[in-house]
Amino acid sequence: MRDLVKKFPQQLEHALEIAEQSVIKGSDPCSSVIITGLGGSGIGGTILSELVGEKSKVPVLVNKDYSLPGWINSQTLVLVSSYSGNTEETVTAMEQALEAGAQVVCITSGGKVMEMAKAHGLDCIVIPGGMPPRSCLGYSLVQLIRVMVFRQLIPSSYLEEIKLAAQFLLSEAEPIQSLSKAIAARLVNKIPVLYAIGNCEGVIVRFRQQINENSKMLCWHHIFPEMNHNELVGWTEPHPDKVVVSFQTTFTNKRTQKRYEICRPVFSKYAADIVDVVAKGRNLTEQFLYLVHLGDWISVDIADLRGIDAVEVNVINHLKNELARFE
């Protein structure tokens, strides 16, 4: 897993090459976009929806279940993201999209999704297989951007920003890994409480998922300013086993930033530690990918400190095996 994390910038570059070579034919007008996918296959959609939120010409929603909204129709662009191509929730949602006559584009390495795409003559971008889905965010995210650029729903500049971001992450490799080790040492044997400061929930969700799967630890996340209206009231007694970690961009609303500054002394009073991470990067794309890459490194560094295998996910495999017996 360390090797896969290390190669994330190169994966972004390879994903751009795949995007350039991919053939997409569909060009019907659409009034909305739904990205359906789960886990490591679906997080790219969550991140994308926030990254392009202010510039997308249509609403971009994310689906992480078996069913799609009842309002989808021929004007809905459904982007099916399943790394293996066999994610049962995503396959079921894809079947519903086809029944509703939606415009369907697939991003996968194979499986049932690819078979269905071929059978229905759908646009399908094929990405390299054989890796843990959570290690392939770069492949799925870039292809999602590629489709939306092709459909003229977002500016083509996003692809150039990805290219520059990959170069930026390579230039920051040593500082990122050094910072990761320092943060991991503060989180090991604690329960991380993760906060996204501003509109970057997808990034903090990614970090939570990586801690869950790579570090084999429980944690939770929340976002500012929403947590000010509920979770903040829970900080009324000592929590010596909790460490607050904030991920922040420099594009955060000033009042949201002020809210965190007011709350921080409260966390300091009751939590064991506070770790603030301010993203580096010239634009939101670079800052999102900086935080993603740093979070990935932290998760594998924690795994090393705990002496565990970051790759294995036996409990998920057990769940899938049990579900396969259930009809």
Just list the catalytic residues: 213, 229, 320
Report d(CA 265, CA 10) in Å as an integer. 40
Place of tokens 């519903």: 96
Strand locations in the chain (E): 32-36, 60-63, 76-82, 103-108, 123-126, 191-197, 220-224, 239-248, 271-278
Helix pair 8-21, 157-171: axis angle to 10 deg = 160
Distances (CA, A) of 138 to 16, 188, 215: 9, 27, 20
| Opening angle at CA 274, ends 270 and 278, nearest 5 | 145
Residue tagged 């971008």 (tokens): 125
Q: Calculate helix-pair angle for 284-306, 173-187, nearest 10 degrees.
A: 50
Select from 211, 292, 217, 222 the least CA-distant residue to 44.
Answer: 292
